[in-house]
Structure 1
Amino acid sequence: MPQDTEGFYSFVERYRTAMSGERTGDIVVDSFSELSARKSFRREWTDAFLKSMEMDITVSDYGTMKDLDEYLFGSSEVVGLFMARIMGLDEDSYPYARYLGRAMQYVNFIRDISEDLQLGRLYFPREELERFDLESLEYGEVMGKKDNFISFLRAQIGIYREWQSTAEKGYSYIPYRYLLPIKTAADMYLWTARVIEMNP
């Protein structure tokens, strides 16, 4: 904080320049542009990613899970789609790839509550907080309603596990040499969720 808003929009402009066929001198942008062309990434995936990154500048909280869906798609589901395309997976795997990205992102939200609050962000839908009679996730509020917070957090872990379970149905599409690191990463997220669940 403060967020580098100018830097973000400059990055987006470099990306658009690279996608028009010009080199920008930015190794990240130019390399991504080359990879995007080589692997035939859909332009709307990257546009959705940049839209979600912009939402981190313009949006501080979300009312409902439906409101959060757009952010989740661009910030995490498209990462699963990029990876599926890089690995050359059948398009039938794409819904599961999206769920894996979404599930991992939700654990990030659960793990990073304190850090995100310091950045002025609340990623959990307000309707979820209201369901457990929480006004916010600020320390003072949580300490005054510990049981509510524990129930809230365990419910969010339940949402994550449901998405993760759906994602795992897509493991059959992934060749073993790719599945091993992906499943290892997913297992680490499962472990993180278990640790938090034991002592929210």
Structure 2
Amino acid sequence: MTDLENAYRDCRRINAQHGKTFFLATRLLPAGARPATHALYGFARIADEVVDNPEPGSDPDIGLAELEQRLDKLFAGNPQNDPVLVALADTIRRYGLDRELFDAFLRSMRMDLTVAEYETFDDLAEYTYGSASVIGLLMLPILGTVVPQREAAPSAAALGEAFQLTNFLRDIGEDLDRGRLYLPVAELAAFGVDRDLLVWCRAHGRRDPRIRRAMAALVAHARAIYRRAESGISLLRKESRPCVRTALVLYRGILDEIVRRDYDVLARRVAVGRGRRLITAAAYAAGAGLGLRS
């Protein structure tokens, strides 16, 4: 096995370990598209770890600056010794991925070090674009389209945004523990909810009808974004559609679980059960005449 093959295998392992829902969906991709998808996930995971789980005594800001410098070298054609970056360099070369999208991603990661909350959805837009929408845009050349990529770009960006907002709703308790609140303050305030109320309810295991109403409104907002994203699946290359539809259905299923738990998102992390994930993926695989690939 070559060094490049080993590098892609490491990315696959990272995806399988840390992104179970997304990894399951990638098993519906053609074999040629899966390694690049894992490489993008691996890179995003590196940045997440720098910000959220830095090594003891390390400075996340310096860590991100070093990652940016390594990207500079990568785009300049200089070899890298990190397996994820080796795989990423090959992916960038194969698909001609845009450096500006990676820069936008790192800007959003840096925002996590300085911005604790956002007032409105407009204020949040730069963060969600860089942290999520650009991932959808980076995936477009890998997935392939049946129209010019610029026509499929809005739906791809919307899917990333929908996934991210779903994460914000699912992970609100963990984010509060880190001192962050991604759900827009003004949207929460419309229902009488603020950070102090959220923190108090999480700390005391209590529920509040104001929080329930706010979460219901935000779930509805996320569903509307999923509808925009779903309209773009038909613009993808046919063999890529089962993967993207599976990812969309499974991530949107997290919203279903939030509703099923009566919007109780503070007590524990909401997730779609493994059985439901497998059944959904198998159904879309069967519909496309595929099997779940390893």
- 1:25, 1:179 → 2: CA distance? 34
- The aligned residue for residue 157 of structure 2 is 98
Identity of aligned residues (%): 33
The amino acid across from 2:168 in the alignment is F
Instruction: Report the AA paired with residue 132 of structure 1.
Output: F
Match of 1:86 in 2: 142
Q: State whether residues 50 and 74 of structure 1, in contact with CA within 8 Å, keep that contact through their aligned partners in structure 2.
A: yes
- Equivalent position SS for 1:122: coil
Structure with higher helix content: 1
Alignment partner of 1:116 is 2:175:
yes
Return the alpha-carbon distance in structure 2 between the equivalents of residues 25 and 149 of structure 1. 47
For the 8 Å contact 1:62–1:123, the answer to whether it is kept is yes
Shift of the alpha carbon at 1:29?
2.1
Matches within 5 A, 1:166-181: 166-181=228-243
CA contact (8 A) 1:55 1:71 kept: yes
Look up the match of 1:14.
Answer: 70
**Structure 1 match to 2:258:** 196
Give the aligned partner of residue 126 of structure 1.
Answer: 185
Cα RMSD of the aligned pairs, angstroms, is 1.8
Structure 1 equivalent of residue 12 of structure 2: none
| Conserved? CA contact 1:76–1:105, under 8 Å | yes
What is the letter of the counterpart of residue 156 of structure 1? L
Contact 2:108–2:131 (Cα < 8 Å) also in 1: yes
What do the CA deviations read for 1:107-166 (whole angstroms, capped 9, x no partner)?
011000111111111111111111111121534257777111001001111111010000
Q: Secondary structure at the match of 1:123?
A: coil
Match of 2:31 in 1: none
- The residue number in structure 2 matching 1:151 is 213
SS across alignment from 1:60? coil
CA distance in 2, matches of 1:29, 1:55: 23
Map of 2:198 onto structure 1: 138
With the length of structure 1 as denominator, give the TM-score of the two structures: 0.92
The aligned residue for residue 224 of structure 2 is 162
> TM-score normalized by structure 2?
0.64
- 1:55 and 1:188 map into 2 onto residues whose CA distance is 28
The amino acid that maps onto 2:237 is P
Letter in 2 for 1:36: I
Give the 3 Å change call, closer, same or farther, for CA 27–44 of structure 1 in structure 2.
same
Q: 8 Å contact 1:135–1:141 — kept in the other structure?
A: no
1:88 to partner: Cα distance = 2.3
Match of 1:71 among 127, 133, 141: 127
Q: How many residues align?
A: 200
Matched, 1:182 2:244: yes
Is the 8 Å Cα contact of residues 116 and 181 (structure 2) preserved in structure 1?
yes
Are the aligned partners of 2:133 and 2:159 in contact in 1 as well (CA < 8 Å)? yes
Contact 1:134-1:141 at 8 Å conserved across structures: no
Instruction: Give yes or no for contact 2:176–2:199 (8 Å, CA) kept in 1.
Output: no
Letter in 1 for 2:185: R
Cα shift at 1:20: 1.6
Please tell me the residue identity of whatever aligns with 1:118.
Answer: D
1:26 paired with 2:82, answer yes
2:78 and 2:192 mapped to 1: Cα distance? 53
Task: Please list the CA deviations of residues 16-75 of structure 1 after superposition, one character each: whole Å capped at 9, or x if unmatched.
Answer: 121122112122223223312321112211110111111111211111111110000011
Structure 2 segments unaligned to the other structure (5+ residues):
1-51, 264-294
Decide whether the 8 Å contact of 2:64 with 2:106 is kept in 1: no
